[in-house]
């Protein structure tokens, strides 16, 4: 059986327009941004949560593609000179460097619409499709990922306190991670209690993922990360190590690592894949 990452790669390849289709430059940039790279954590969460409820991978493909396309678009725009101004992503030049700024903006826009096209075209019951669409729309907009990015830019050099920093990352990072878990649960018709436990797991996972990201920005090299290391300090960003110290951030991450599996107790062994992904998120080296 292929890995989830390999399955996703094939599904994205089939979903995206061919690189030589007109307008070829735009389509090449979209494929450059979305294919062949990244941890694919969000898509892997879709598949793992869906299998918890007994859904087949083929049913889950549209949701896995959609969440990864939203993530890819957000990275393209996040790297632009007007935002984080980064030249390296996933070990290769960022889209605006490999192509140009205008093409990068359009590629991000087109990846976002492709995500919702994937969901709209899914062979799912209409009621379930609407629930899944609503989950991803809420996670992507001004009260989710886009809002978090705005708060993050507003906060440069402002010295956020811990509560404000958590709000930034609950939106910028956590909202899409939560959608990756909630979409397959909604598709499966999970009850309110199951949704509540999965949402609590997702909230802690998003926080743990961001704390680990901040620690890696301090400790890891550019080669390890596949993106520029040390940018948080260079841009005077508020981070968990900056607020708590490196040891304090690691201690909080350890607490979250202990707490994450407890949210999944009701699901027993069916949630082992989610537990493994949580372990990966808190211990990853890139």
Please spell the DSSP secondary structure of 22-82, one letter per residue. SSHHHHHHHHHHHSS-S--HHHHHHHHHHHHTT--HHHHHHHHHHHHHHHHHHHHHHTSTT
Distance (Å, rounded) from C-alpha 39 to C-alpha 229?
17
**pLDDT given at position 227:** 64
**pLDDT given at position 69:** 98
**pLDDT given at position 27:** 98
Provide the pLDDT confidence category of residue 2 given band limits of 50, 70 and 90.
low
pLDDT (tens digit per residue) in 254-269: 999 999 999 999 999 9
**pLDDT given at position 6:** 94
- Give the pTM: 0.95
Domains for the chain: give ranges and CATH numbers. Answer: 4-283 (1.10.600.10)
Mean pLDDT, rounded, for 10-23: 96
Distance (Å, rounded) from C-alpha 210 to C-alpha 216?
10
Mean pLDDT, rounded, for 86-107: 95
Phi, psi of 227 (to 5 degrees): -150, 170
Give the pair of three-digit tokens for residue 234: 């260079």
Distance (Å, rounded) from C-alpha 239 to C-alpha 248?
12
Lookup result for tokens 């678009």: 73
**pLDDT given at position 234:** 60
**pLDDT given at position 1:** 39
Half-sphere exposure of 178 (CA within 13 A, CB side): 26
Among 3, 51, 62, which residue's Cα sits nearest to residue 275?
51
**pLDDT given at position 91:** 85
Distance (Å, rounded) from C-alpha 171 to C-alpha 192?
22
pLDDT (tens digit per residue) in 211-248: 999 999 898 777 777 666 666 666 677 899 999 999 99
pLDDT (tens digit per residue) in 155-209: 887 888 999 999 999 999 999 999 999 999 999 999 999 999 999 999 999 999 9
Distance (Å, rounded) from C-alpha 37 to C-alpha 9?
9
DSSP E strand stretches across the chain: 88-89, 92-93
Give the pair of three-digit tokens for residue 17: 């327009």
- Residues 6+ positions from 188 with CB-CB distance below 8 Å: 50, 53, 54, 55
Distance (Å, rounded) from C-alpha 17 to C-alpha 70?
16
Q: 93 pairs with which residues across the strands?
A: 88
Contact call for residues 187 and 55 (beta carbons, < 8 A): yes
Percentage of the chain surpassing pLDDT 70? 95
């Amino acid at each position: 059986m292929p890995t989830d990452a390999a399955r996703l790669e094939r599904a994205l390849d089939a979903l995206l327009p061919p690189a030589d289709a007109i307008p070829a430059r735009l389509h090449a940039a979209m494929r450059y941004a979305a294919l062949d790279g990244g941890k694919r954590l969000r898509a892997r969460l879709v598949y793992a949560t869906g299998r918890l409820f007994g859904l087949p991978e083929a049913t889950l493909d549209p949701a896995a593609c959609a969440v990864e396309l939203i993530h890819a678009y957000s990275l393209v725009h996040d790297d632009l000179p007007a935002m984080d101004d980064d030249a390296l992503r996933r070990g290769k030049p960022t889209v605006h460097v490999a192509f140009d700024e205008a093409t990068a903006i359009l590629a991000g826009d087109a990846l976002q619409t492709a995500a919702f096209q994937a969901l709209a075209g899914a062979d799912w019951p209409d009621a379930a499709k609407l629930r899944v669409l609503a989950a991803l729309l809420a996670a992507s907009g001004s009260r989710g990922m886009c809002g978090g990015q705005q708060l993050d830019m507003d906060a440069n050099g402002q010295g956020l306190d811990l509560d404000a920093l958590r709000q930034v990352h609950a939106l910028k990072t956590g909202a899409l991670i939560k959608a990756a878990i909630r979409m397959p649960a909604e598709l499966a018709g999970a009850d309110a209690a199951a949704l509540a436990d999965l949402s609590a797991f997702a909230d802690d996972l998003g926080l743990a993922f961001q704390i680990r990201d901040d620690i890696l920005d301090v400790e890891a090299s550019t080669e390890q990360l596949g993106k520029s290391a040390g940018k948080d300090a260079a841009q005077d960003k508020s981070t968990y190590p900056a607020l708590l110290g490196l040891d304090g951030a690691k201690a909080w991450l350890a607490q979250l690592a202990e707490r994450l599996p407890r949210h999944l107790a009701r699901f027993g062994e069916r949630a082992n894949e989610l537990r493994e992904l949580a372990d990966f998120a808190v211990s990853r080296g890139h």
